[in-house]
């Protein structure tokens, strides 16, 4: 595997379910991100991890719980979601070093549907 991978690619869950999204980057990067992409809206940054520490939590509801066990893996744990949480969830990674212009590499996303 190369680049940034995400599993599952599609997920349908009920409002009372608990599920997790997984992201893995094979690029040796030190920062990882979760974005939410809803129709007709800009991508929304949810969480940022740098060197496995959370550095940004963009006022995301507590029903979304991120976990970064190491620099290559990022999880998004989901519980008691609402139908409006249905969206494409994108993971990205980058190598953040000083003020260099570092590209964010994106995964293919997980299409989440909450019934």
Partner 1 sequence: AQTVTQSQPEMSVQEAETVTLSCTYDTSESDYYLFWYKQPPSRQMILVIRQEAYKQQNATENRFSVNFQKAAKSFSLKISDSQLGDAAMYFCAYRTYLNSGGSNYKLTFGKGTLLTVNP
> Which chain residues interact with partner 1 by CB under 8 A?
31, 33, 40-43, 45, 48, 50, 55-56, 88, 90, 92, 96-99, 101-104, 106-109
Q: CA separation (Å) from 25 to 2, 29, 66, 76?
A: 8, 7, 16, 15
What is the closest distance, in whole angstroms, from the C-beta atom of residue 1 to partner 1 in the complex? 13
Q: Which is nearer to partner 1, 47 or 114 (CB)?
A: 47
Q: Which is nearer to partner 1, 16 or 100 (CB)?
A: 100
What is the closest distance, in whole angstroms, from the C-beta atom of residue 35 to partner 1 in the complex? 8
Radius of gyration of the chain (CA): 14
What is the closest distance, in whole angstroms, from the C-beta atom of residue 25 to partner 1 in the complex? 13
CA distance linking residue 2 with residue 15, whole number of Å: 33
Q: Which is nearer to partner 1, 1 or 103 (CB)?
A: 103
Q: Which is nearer to partner 1, 42 or 69 (CB)?
A: 42
Q: How open is the CA angle 62-68-71, to the nearest 5 degrees? A: 155
Q: How open is the CA angle 15-57-2, to the nearest 5 degrees? A: 85
CA distance linking residue 51 with residue 72, whole number of Å: 10
What is the closest distance, in whole angstroms, from the C-beta atom of residue 102 to partner 1 in the complex? 8
């Amino acid at each position: 595997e190369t680049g940034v991978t995400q599993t599952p690619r599609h997920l349908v869950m009920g409002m009372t379910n608990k599920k997790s999204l997984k992201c893995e980057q094979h690029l040796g990067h030190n920062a990882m991100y979760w974005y939410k992409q809803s129709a007709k809206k800009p991508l929304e940054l949810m969480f940022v991890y740098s060197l496995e520490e959370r550095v940004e939590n963009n006022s995301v509801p507590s029903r979304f719980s991120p976990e970064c066990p190491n620099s290559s893996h990022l999880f998004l744990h989901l519980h008691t979601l609402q139908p409006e949480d249905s969206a494409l969830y994108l993971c990205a990674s980058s190598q953040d070093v000083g003020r260099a212009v570092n590209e964010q590499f994106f995964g293919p996303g997980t299409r989440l549907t909450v019934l």
